[in-house]
Chain A
Amino acid sequence: MIEAIAFYCMAAVALTGAVMVVTLRNTVHSALALGLSLAGVAGLFACLGADFLFAGQLLIYVGGIAILIIFAVMLLGRASNLHLRQINQQWAAALLVCAITGAGLWRLVGIFRHTSSSAPATATTRSIGLLMLGDYALPFELISLVLLAALLGAVFFSRKDIS
């Protein structure tokens, strides 16, 4: 019972934050709402018993990526306070894409709705670690290689030409 209440509260936080990101007119407010939405997703993970994912989501998305986005938005200074409209002429097309994606996700949820376990949550850190460095060591290392390449690419393309 309490788990269900907590789950729906967290879902409400995540969705409210997401709606605020696209509707608020001040860019800094939108960036902060993004942080709220990501924190709500972390709360969802916690409600579902995925403790490692919960902490990882908070650490990387809220404590890292959201802050970097806020940082970038604030660096634009007062120009970001222009209170721009967030919607342009393509809003109908965007709404259509959202509706189709939503319907697809709804169907997917329908397929998996009976697979959620009702067993009490257990600690997942050890088993995730064993899987990542055991059975899935190769994909894990490949992903880290891709991320490293992306990092180096970002540095390469954004550096100033000294010569």
Chain B
Amino acid sequence: MTAPEKQVFPGPVLNHHSGKLLIGTRYWPTEIWRRPWSLPRYRAGALWLVGIILGIAAIGFGIGELAVWGEKILVWLGRCGLPAPAVAWVWVLIKLCCVIGVIVANGLWAVWWERKISAHIQSRMGPMYAGGFHGWAQTIFDTIKLLLKEDVTPAAADQAMHLLAPIVAIAPCIIAFAPVLFGNELAAAKLDMGVLYIFAFASISVIGVVMAGWASGNKYSLLGGLRAAAQIVSYELPRGFSIVPVLMFAGSLDLAVIDRAQAGYWMGCIPRWFVFYPVVGQIAFLFFLIASVAETNRTPFDIPEAESELVAGFHTEFSGMKWSMFFLMEYGYVLLSSFLLAVFFLGGGASPLPWLVGIPSWIWMLSKAMLMMFVFLWFRWTFPRLRVDQLMDFNWKFLLPWSFANIGLAGVLVYLHLRGWGLR
């Protein structure tokens, strides 16, 4: 008996002169991806990626810590001859503009990135024309389109509530960014109860969503709003309880203290990040990630806007800029969760390897947040949607009890540490 002959794929058929893929070959795209490195564009893409990473690192070396620049600007403001309260107000305004700029720029970037990732997961190209390079300007033109769109309010809608809903949804999202750390000591406000503050404001946005659903005068929208309320109030519990171990390890609600508590390395190479704490860290990380995805109403937890059931859920009856406010909110919360994941579990601005400490903390923080954001987008295009009852069962019968158990485990770990048997 001889083994059946193994089918060998000869590789993609390329043009001899240009090296480009020949159109109309008998191969499926999936067969081409068996030997991706034979594609010149694949190699070029890898080179681009390495170049971008090295470029960002070089820019980081050049700029240095952003917090230091902030101090310099503050000193310069003080020398301008303004009275002290005016300096304080101008300084707050500058920080406010920076934070709003981050949120808006994130909207532009994340929508484009999400479209590219979803396209590549589905073997498509995504936006390719606007702006020239891989459709980089697509969301800018989309924003102009949204600005020019007619703002329609349905006749059956509650006019005032319909106008207020997007504002109530987006405002807490912007306010919640105040204590978020963008690097070591780089935050708009230093708050002793920063974690609680973020969770408190992030929990208000759902009122805007419910208002939108109710004010639209449309039963699909109302159902979407009700589902959003039930889901977000439920998932807030495991989201809050899953980070209690982190707060126990760090001993504070201040994000800067949590960030500092993860500095240093075990045995000179393993970073002391909370995600590497045995068992407790990994459970807390996963639960926080899952609950954060549910809080942002994204697939697999997107039942408030499930297209196949509810048209578009609570934002069915919104158009133009009102509609885009809901999307700005969604991507704002994705960014917030990404930064929180980076600070709580991935060491914040700490470098993952001891010999890379020259790169400033904001580069590390941003890279970790973007990595987490990629996970969010990846989730959305990979998992199927849960049913309403599965969603609630998963929360109340699995996430919540096990996050309580995780707090108990964290207590054991802290006790062992105090007795001197724990990790040093």
Contacts and interface: CB of A to CB of B under 8 A. Distances in A.
B203 A64 contact: yes
A62 B203 contact: yes
Contact of B196 (A35, A52, A77): A52
Interface in B190-233: 191-193, 196-197, 199-201, 203-204, 206-207, 210-211, 213-214, 222, 225-226, 229-230, 232-233
A67 B211 contact: no
Interface string B361-378: 000000000000000000
A55 interface: yes
Contact of A63 (B197, B204, B211, B222): B204
Contact of B200 (A58, A71, A74): A58
Nearest to A35: B207
B236 interface: yes
Contacts of A58: 200-201, 203-204
Nearest to A129: B253
Interface string B7-42: 000000000000000000000000000000000000
Contacts of A56: 196, 200
Interface in A9-56: 28-29, 32, 35, 39, 51-52, 54-56
A123 B210 contact: no
A126 to B, nearest CB: 8
Contacts of B236: 63-64
A74 B192 contact: no
A161 B193 CA distance: 45
**Among B193, B213, B226, B229: residue with most chain A CB under 10 A:** B193
Tell me whether chain A's interface is mostly helix, strand or loop, or mixed: helix
**Among B192, B225, B226: residue with most chain A CB under 10 A:** B192
Contacts of B203: 58-59, 62-64
B250 to A, nearest CB: 13
A75 interface: yes
Contacts of A63: 200, 203-204, 206, 233, 236
A66 B207 CA distance: 9
B414 to A, nearest CB: 14
Given A123-B192, A125-B253, A74 B222 contact: yes
A67 B201 contact: no
Contacts of A29: 161
A40 B199 CA distance: 18
Interface string B313-330: 000000000000000000
A70 interface: yes
Contacts of A68: 229, 233
Interface in A48-94: 51-52, 54-56, 58-59, 62-64, 66-68, 70-71, 74-75, 77
A70 B193 contact: no
B193 A123 contact: yes
A74 B210 contact: yes
B251 to A, nearest CB: 9
Given A59-B200, A64-B203, A74-B225, A32 B193 contact: no
Contacts of B253: 125
A52 B199 contact: no
B210 A67 contact: yes
8 contacts: A39-B204, A51-B193, A55-B193, A63-B203, A64-B233, A64-B236, A70-B229, A123-B192
Shortest Cβ-Cβ A-B pairs, 6 listed: A63-B203, A123-B192, A58-B200, A55-B196, A59-B200, A55-B200
Interface of A: 28-29, 32, 35, 39, 51-52, 54-56, 58-59, 62-64, 66-68, 70-71, 74-75, 77, 123, 125-126
Interface of B: 161, 191-193, 196-197, 199-201, 203-204, 206-207, 210-211, 213-214, 222, 225-226, 229-230, 232-233, 236, 252-253
Given A62-B200, A67-B206, 11 more contacts: A32-B207, A35-B207, A39-B204, A54-B200, A58-B200, A59-B203, A67-B207, A74-B222, A123-B192, A125-B192, A125-B196
